[in-house]
C-alpha cells in the first residue's frame, strides 16, 4: 500500500504536470473501483472539467476540480496512479483514465481491484464512508504533542495497532509505523497505557523525523514515475534477519494478526510478540 511518502511524491508530480489541465475525455473501464457516483455521471462530470491542485489527506489523494468537485482516490493495497502518454501500454486492470489536454493520460490501475474512487463536491466529503471518522492527519500542524497524548488515551491497545488506526490519526501505514517505533526505540507490542510520558513524546517526535527523512528520498527516487513504490531504503521494515543499522543485532520479523512487523529486540526491548 502506498504510504505518506509515496502519496506526497504523487501529489507533487500531479501539481506540476496536471494542475490546470482540462480533461478532454474520461473512461471507466472497470466500474468496481468507482464507488460514487454511477459510471455515466462520473464520466459526464469529469469530461470538460479542469483539474486544479491536488493534496493528500490521510491515505486519500484529493484532486480538486474547477466545478467544485473532488476526485478522492484511496489506493488501498495495490492501486496506483500513472501519468503516461497515450502511446505507453496500459497496465493490466486499468480501471479508469482521464485524457488531459496536454495529451497525457492520468490512469488508475489496481491488481486486486480493492481501491476506491469517489467523485463528490468539495463540501460533501462526508459522503465518503468513514471519511469524517478519521483522526487528524498525522502531519497536520494542529496535531501537537498535547493533542497526540490526549487522543492516544482513547486507544489502550498495542502502540503499533494504534498508530495505524486511522481513527486515532490519519495516514500512518504498516511500513512507516515500524520505522517510527524503531526511531523512537519503542517495542511495537507495548500497550499505549503502559508507555511513559517520555516514550509517548519519543513516538510523537519520531513521526516528524521519519517523514522528514523519507519524503524527499521517495520524491527523488520516484521522479515523474508516480506508480512506483520505493521502500528499499527503510531501516527495519521487511529487513528481518538483517543487521540492525544501530546496534548490529538481527532484526526480528513477525506476523501477528497477519500484519508484518519488523523491529530490533535490542533497540526496542520488550516482551515476545504473540499471534
Indicate whether 154 and 92 sit together in one domain.
no
pLDDT, tens digit, for every residue of 64-90?
Answer: 999 999 999 999 989 999 999 999 999
Instruction: Please report whether residue 140 resides in a domain.
Output: no
Instruction: Please report whether residue 274 resides in a domain.
Output: no
Instruction: Please report whether residue 103 resides in a domain.
Output: yes
Instruction: Please report whether residue 269 resides in a domain.
Output: no
Report the distance separating Cα 180 and Cα 163, nearest Å: 9
For the residues 11-18, what does the mean pLDDT come to? Answer: 94
Indicate whether 220 and 113 sit together in one domain.
no
Report the distance separating Cα 64 and Cα 189, nearest Å: 39
> In this structure, what CATH number is given to the domain that contains residue 242?
1.10.8.50
What is residue 256's predicted lDDT score, i.e. its pLDDT? 80
The residue among 105, 133, 161 that closes a domain is 133
The residue among 111, 133, 155 that closes a domain is 133
User: Has residue 173 got a pLDDT over 50?
Assistant: yes
Percent of the chain exceeding pLDDT 70 equals 98
pTM for this predicted structure: 0.92
Instruction: Please report whether residue 127 resides in a domain.
Output: yes
**What domain count does the chain have?**
2
Indicate whether 100 and 170 sit together in one domain.
no
Asked if the peptide bond before residue 175 counts as cis, ω within 30 degrees of 0, the response is: no
Report the distance separating Cα 53 and Cα 14, nearest Å: 8
To the nearest whole number, what is the mean pLDDT of the chain?
94
Residues paired with 100 in a beta bridge: 23
Alpha helical stretches, state H, 115-269: 145-152, 159-163, 174-184, 197-222
Q: Which domain holds residue 51?
A: 4-133
What is residue 199's predicted lDDT score, i.e. its pLDDT? 96
User: Has residue 271 got a pLDDT over 70?
Assistant: no
User: Has residue 273 got a pLDDT over 50?
Assistant: no
Is 30 exposed, middle or buried, given 0-12, 13-18 or 19+ CB atoms closer than 10 A? middle
5 pLDDT band (50/70/90 cuts)? Answer: very high
Instruction: Please report whether residue 227 resides in a domain.
Output: yes
The residue among 106, 133, 160 that closes a domain is 133
For the residues 206-216, what does the mean pLDDT come to? Answer: 97
Eight-state DSSP code of residue 102: T
What is residue 275's predicted lDDT score, i.e. its pLDDT? 35
Indicate whether 128 and 152 sit together in one domain.
no
Indicate whether 217 and 151 sit together in one domain.
yes
pLDDT, tens digit, for every residue of 226-243?
Answer: 888 889 999 999 999 999
> In this structure, what CATH number is given to the domain that contains residue 84?
3.20.190.10
Amino acid at each position: 500500500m502506498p504510504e505518506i511518502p509515496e502519496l506526497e511524491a504523487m501529489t507533487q508530480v500531479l501539481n506540476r504536470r496536471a494542475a490546470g489541465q482540462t480533461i478532454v475525455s474520461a473512461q471507466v473501464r472497470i466500474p468496481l473501483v468507482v464507488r460514487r457516483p454511477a459510471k455515466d455521471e462520473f464520466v459526464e462530470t469529469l469530461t470538460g472539467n479542469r483539474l486544479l491542485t491536488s493534496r493528500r489527506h490521510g491515505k486519500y489523494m484529493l484532486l480538486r476540480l474547477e466545478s467544485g468537485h473532488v476526485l478522492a482516490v484511496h489506493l488501498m493495497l495495490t492501486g496506483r496512479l500513472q501519468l503516461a502518454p497515450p502511446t505507453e501500454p496500459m497496465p493490466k486492470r486499468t480501471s479508469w483514465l482521464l485524457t488531459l489536454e496536454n495529451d497525457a493520460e492520468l490512469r488508475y490501475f489496481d491488481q486486486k481491484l480493492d481501491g476506491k474512487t469517489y467523485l463528490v463536491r468539495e463540501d460533501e466529503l462526508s459522503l465518503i464512508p468513514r471519511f469524517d471518522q478519521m483522526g487528524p492527519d498525522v502531519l497536520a500542524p494542529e496535531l501537537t504533542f498535547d493533542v497526540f497524548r490526549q487522543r492516544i488515551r482513547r486507544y489502550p491497545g498495542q502502540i503499533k495497532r494504534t498508530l495505524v488506526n486511522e481513527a486515532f490519526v490519519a495516514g500512518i501505514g504498516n511500513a512507516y509505523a515500524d520505522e517510527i517505533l524503531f526511531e523512537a526505540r519503542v517495542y511495537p507490542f507495548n500497550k499505549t497505557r503502559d508507555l511513559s510520558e517520555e516514550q509517548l513524546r519519543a513516538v510523537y517526535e519520531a513521526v516528524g523525523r521519519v517523514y522528514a527523512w523519507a519524503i524527499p528520498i521517495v520524491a527523488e527516487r520516484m521522479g515523474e514515475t508516480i506508480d512506483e513504490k520505493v521502500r528499499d531504503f527503510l531501516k527495519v521494515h521487511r529487513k528481518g534477519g538483517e543487521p540492525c543499522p544501530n546496534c548490529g543485532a538481527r532484526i526480528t520479523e513477525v506476523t501477528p494478526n497477519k500484519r508484518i512487523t519488523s523491529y530490533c529486540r535490542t533497540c526496542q526491548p520488550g516482551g515476545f510478540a504473540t499471534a
